[in-house]
Amino acid sequence: MKILILTHRVPFPQNGGYAIVVCNTIKGLVALGHEISLVALNAKKYNGSTQETIDELQSKINYTSYNIDISISMLDGLTNLFSKKSNDIDRYFDAGFEKLLIRELRQTDYDIIQFEGLFVTPYLAAIRKHSKAKLIYRSHNIEHQVWQRLAQQKSDLFKKWYLRMLARRVKDYELQQLNKVDAIAVFTTEDKNTILSFGTTIPVEIIPVGIDLTQYRPDFSKTEFPSLFFLGSLDWLPNREGIEWFIDNFHKDLTDGDLRVKFYVAGHNIPEGFDDYEVMGKIFIQGEVDDAFEFVNSKAIMIVPLLSGGGMRVKIVEGMAMQKCIISTSLGAEGINFENGKNIIIANNQEEFYEAIERCITDEDHCRSIGINARKLVEEQHDVNTVAQDLAGFYSRLS
């Protein structure tokens, strides 16, 4: 099949959940012999990392990127308060990019066009007009739920009101798009049930996150025990909210209390203000790391204190593949077929996190057992080769 994949950001380098999912999907489909084209918006917001080398995957596909500025001026923000549209999505529309897509569709007769997330759906109408391909929407999150859950966590009345307003607008747009495609792929049962509850009449298939297991080679001889770590992009608000909650609640315990363990924070776009959390020899704010695999391998216990958001957390799947002992909220582990206490530890409040950390930093055998079971789970359910076959089978049933 000839497959066109559209993304709202360049997935190179592969340094975040969205990029990892997109690239692993492409790897799996290429390995099955499908012809893949990737057309990506290169949004100004995400240009922080400079790609010095060409990703090997680019040589196996037809790849095009298009620069777009998605920044919002103060005037735009004020005007948006009185608009019924979602500026968060509208800013990804660019007339020049739409013309580029139309030219691409005139040149190539695609069988499948996959929209990676809601932010590329503003081009859906033009694509439908100029292509007979089956249009697949891959829902990385139920986007309006992200804003709703963020609003629920806010105590500031204005912020709560503003986030609820964004959620309503995104929901209105999101629901309008669902039946305009031919099928929807989701990562979790929860997301499928949510989409069906909206009255969706098209096929909805659960295709979990798939990863290339050959890249994940844990080496316990290089792991510092005990040690806690967080790894994630902090330009995604639920990640930032979660890690701020964790540090605010455990800063004293980690620096002056009984939790005698070093804590490392790494990831993309960590705000400068996070440097204030750093305490020499106890809390380390490292920013973006050169080698994420090496960083994860060198630490023992992964925390995922997610309080809002949705979909499946790629970093948890990756952490499991690296045999990490993971402490996560139920929301963070959503969509993963875990067994609490066997292949992950679930903690949903401060007390539960404290108890879990205290147990883990004093019992290395317990941590290692959970990590080994986590790896087995990933091998059984998240191998990219199996996941890609399932996705390709889904495509075939639609044609």
Residue-level pLDDT at 132: 96
Say if CB 39 and CB 6 are below 8 A apart: yes
Residue-level pLDDT at 163: 87
Residue intervals in the chain for CATH 3.40.50.2000:
2-210+384-398, 214-381
**Per-residue pLDDT for 37 more than 80?**
yes
How many beta carbons lie within 10 A of that of residue 61, not counting itself?
A: 20
User: Which of 147-151, 191-195, 230-234, 333-337 is the least confident region?
Assistant: 147-151
Question: How many residues are present in the chain?
Answer: 399
159-170 in b/e form (b: 16+ CB < 10 A) is: eeeebbebbebb
Segment 53-67 mean pLDDT: 90
Segment 367-381 mean pLDDT: 97
pLDDT-derived band of residue 308, with 50, 70 and 90 as boundaries?
Answer: confident
Task: Report the CATH number of the 2-210+384-398 domain.
Answer: 3.40.50.2000
**CA–CA separation, 344 vs 370, rounded Å?**
6
Say if CB 375 and CB 321 are below 8 A apart: yes
More confident residue, 186 or 161: 186
**CA–CA separation, 275 vs 181, rounded Å?**
45
**Per-residue pLDDT for 175 more than 90?**
yes
Name the residue among 25, 26, 24, 21 with its Cα closest to residue 36: 26
* % of the chain beyond a pLDDT of 70: 93
Say if CB 63 and CB 104 are below 8 A apart: no
User: Which of 12-21, 66-75, 205-214, 295-304 is the least confident region?
Assistant: 66-75
Q: Which residues, including other chains, have CB under 8 Å from residue 317's CB and lie 6 or more apart?
A: 209, 211, 336, 378, 382
**CA–CA separation, 208 vs 205, rounded Å?**
10
Q: Give the model confidence (pLDDT) of 86-125 as tens digits.
A: 668 999 999 999 999 999 999 999 999 999 999 999 999 9
Residue-level pLDDT at 45: 56
Residue-level pLDDT at 50: 45
Fold of the 214-381 domain: Rossmann fold (3.40.50)
Q: Give the model confidence (pLDDT) of 338-363 as tens digits.
A: 999 999 999 999 999 999 999 999 99
Residue-level pLDDT at 119: 95
Mean pLDDT, the chain, rounded, equals 91
**Per-residue pLDDT for 73 more than 80?**
no
Tokens of 45: 């917001």
**Per-residue pLDDT for 398 more than 60?**
yes
